[in-house]
Amino acid sequence: MPRYKLTIEYDGTVFGGWQRQANAPTIQDALEQAILKMCGEQVAVFGAGRTDAGVHASGQVAHVDLERPWLEERLRGGLNFHLRPAPIAVLAVETVPDDFHARFSAVRRHYVYRIVNRRSPLVLERDRAWHVARPLNVAAMNAGAQFLLGKHDFTTFRSAHCQSTSPVKTLDMLAVTRTGDLIEITTNARSFLHNQVRSMVGSLKLVGEGSWMPEDMAAALEAKDRSACGTVAPPWGLYLTKVDYSDD
């Protein structure tokens, strides 16, 4: 039974998230339905990250086992045909060993959070970035971000609904940059807690507007208390951009 690695792009606006659920359309369900139409097989698709409702991806990774072998390009083209008109595209298909797992074989996940920092409302970027009208100090935000690097208990930046067995994670990168009105907060780690990135971004926004000092990020982290976190940033600014594997 061949196993295939899928690299996927999607606009999360109309979806209830990655994971299959009864009361909302999801990316996982759309992919499984496309496979059923093309291959005639009822299968489970496993993703590298369970993105929330409204979160986008330019480099999500999934895997699926099929009964018979397919040419990679034919499978990619057929899935994209059957996914229409859903805002999902399979960018690449690769045959992988049986021990490859999209989630458990991943060694690093990369995210970017996009803020458009201007007075005027968003038109082209609506539902694809967080609109913040108040001026933000990017240098202060980046200074505050550095206090979160490394291995810590991230309870403060963890959703109350997080199912992870431990709040301890190692954050390898967190950087804040600006190009014109666009602010990008880039981060990567082996894995993240539920809502961790959006929670960190919401607190960094407080630093940027001057409500917090950069050192307040360290104090919030040390508190290990969800109430010490700033307002969680909305999902539509967040993108899963890449997943690394040991053989990459």
Domain boundaries, the chain: 3-96, 107-245
Question: Which pLDDT value is given to residue 2?
Answer: 96
User: What class is the 3-96 domain?
Assistant: alpha beta
Least reliable range by pLDDT among 40-44, 152-156, 163-167: 163-167
Residue 63 structure tokens = 């895997």
Distance of CA 174 to the CA centre of its chain: 14
Q: By C-alpha distance, which of 87, 89, 36, 86 is closest to 64? A: 36
d(CA 131, CA 239): 15
- pLDDT higher than 80, residue 248: no
Query: Would you say 102 and 236 are in contact if contact means Cβ atoms under 8 Å apart?
Result: no
Q: Under a CB-based contact definition with an 8 Å cutoff, are residues 108 and 188 in contact?
A: yes
Say if residue 123's pLDDT is above 70.
yes
- Mean pLDDT across the chain, nearest whole number? 96
- Of the candidates 23, 15, 104, the one whose C-alpha atom is nearest the C-alpha of residue 52 is 15
Please give the CATH topology (third level) of the domain spanning 107-245: Alpha-Beta Plaits (3.30.70)
Catalytic residues: 52
Q: Check residue 247 and give its pLDDT.
A: 58
pTM of the prediction? 0.96
- Exposure string (b/e) for 122-143, b if CB count within 10 Å is 16 or more? eeebeebbbbbeeebbbebbbb
Q: 146's torsion region: left (phi>0), alpha (psi -120 to 50) or beta?
A: alpha
Helix (H) or strand (E) holding 189: strand 182-189
Q: How confident is the model over 208-237, as a mean pLDDT? A: 97
| In the predicted structure, residue 163 carries a pLDDT above the cut 80 | no
pLDDT above 80 for 9:
yes
pLDDT tens track for 195-219:
999 999 999 999 999 999 999 999 9
> Is residue 89 scored above 70 in pLDDT?
yes
Mean pLDDT of 58-62: 98
